[in-house]
Amino acid sequence: MGLKVWLNGELVDQKDARISVFDHGLLYGDGVFEGIRVYNGRVFELDAHIKRLYQSAKVIRLGISIPPQQLSKAVEQTCNANSVKDGYVRLVITRGIGTLGLNPFICKNPQIFIIADNIQLYPEEFYEKGMKVISANTVRNHPLSLPPQIKSLNYLNNILAKIEALDSNVPEAIMYNHQGYVAEATGDNVFIVRKNAIYTPPVESGSLEGITREVVIELAKKENLQVVETDLVQFNLYTADELFLTGTAAEVIGIVEIDGRVIDDGKPGQITKLLRKRFFEYAHGKTQ
């Protein structure tokens, strides 16, 4: 039996979940979305994801026709309909049907759909042994041209960097902004460890204000670890004691090599492993 997709207020069979080819989400990438995890039948940090979705929509002047509480219930309803206990939710708002022109205000009815399914972004081996990455030549979008806080449907900037990674036979790439500072990976936030302190780029450098990023920062502080948001350059990554990524799908994953440079001893570091453990405990409701 196929998936049930929540589409504009009702659950429909996967084959019946259709969006018009004139939808500006398809024609122009005009819309917003959230990727959300489910652990033990509980939607992870749902309130934070919903809040970010509505903020993104507000900035691009995209009206969402239902209140946040109702949308949260729709997410849970979709998970229940598909018996998703440990999985992934994709919540999408498109601009809706319009013309072949750019004018977004011709689109009168934004489309809302929710998909709940299983996901495994990286194999377990990567978490145990660490992952290799490269530096992307694709420059991260200028933060004044497209605010990085907006989680929009237009992901071409990230996709081009992802292609670079795959061409180099690695799963991920680190993106830098127009000034040469570290922004983010193609789908994750970047952290380094140096002398037992943790450093991560500020949002202003071009990184998404990740939900998992915020959780990991709070978990690190509970371990009495210093967390500093500051600009990082390539040199900082090459010489880090530890390098790791965080993201909804990736969770916490150690990086052991970048651009052929081995990070420290070539194994996920102790702080990375600690934070991965603490995140697992938190996500599965074993800690508050």
Taking residues 70-90, what's their average pLDDT?
97
In a shared domain, residues 163 and 110? no
Judgement on whether residues 141 and 273 belong to the same structural domain of the protein: yes
Residue 288 belongs to a domain: no
Q: Where are the beta strands (DSSP E) in the chain?
A: 4-7, 10-13, 31-39, 42-43, 87-94, 111-117, 131-135, 172-176, 182-185, 189-194, 197-200, 227-229, 242-247, 251-258, 261-262
Residue 106 lies in domain? 4-117
The pLDDT tens digits of the residues spanning 153-204 come to: 999 999 999 999 999 999 999 999 999 999 999 999 999 999 999 999 999 9
Residue 1: the pLDDT is 62
* Predicted structure pTM score: 0.95
Our count of domains for the chain comes to 2
At 191 the pLDDT is: 98
Mean pLDDT of 87-97: 97
Residue 287: predicted pLDDT: 67
pLDDT of 288: 57
pLDDT of residue 286: 75
Whether 151 is catalytic: yes
Tell me, what CATH number does 139's domain have? 3.20.10.10
Q: Over 80: is that where the pLDDT of 120 sits?
A: no
Domain boundary among 117, 145, 174: 117
Q: Which of the following is catalytic: 4, 132, 151, 162?
A: 151
Q: pLDDT digits over 32-72, tens only?
A: 999 999 999 999 999 999 999 999 999 999 999 999 999 99
